[in-house]
Amino acid sequence: MDINKSCRKNKNNMIREQTLVKVIDNSGAKIAKCVKILNGSKKKTAKIGDFIKVVIKNSNVNSKIKKGQIMNAILVRSKYPFRRKDGTLLSFNDNAVILLNNSKKLIGTRVFGVLAKEIKLNHFNKLFSLSNELV
């Protein structure tokens, strides 16, 4: 398969409104739906490191995060392949977010799974100390 062909701008695979994403922290939420992409007024797709508004679709029974709550989140994994400056192509198996409160602080105290180094550009150094592995 041609690398350039797989990295073309196919907007159907990117994170848009109404996309279901997995929550990978221990806040209590399991699945969320993207309702708005922040960081711009006419932005239609989100990439790794972007802030989005999500509504919680599924959560644990005894958690403070309830179904139907609207929260901020940061996108940390995406199925859509992206190219780094060194030329490597990177994509993940799922779309995943980490929940934030209104002042952009982490809600959970643990992060499950791998994270991309591109999040460090957004000054979220605390995520790296909480995560298992960096890619």
Residue with tokens 């940061």: 74
Phi, psi of 114 (to 5 degrees): -90, 155
Cα 10 from Cα 80, distance rounded (Å)? 9
3-state secondary structure of 54: strand
Cα 118 from Cα 10, distance rounded (Å)? 21
Cα 26 from Cα 121, distance rounded (Å)? 23
pLDDT along the chain (135 residues), means of 10: 42 76 91 88 82 92 90 90 88 91 86 82 68 74
Cα 122 from Cα 113, distance rounded (Å)? 19
Residue with tokens 């029974």: 61
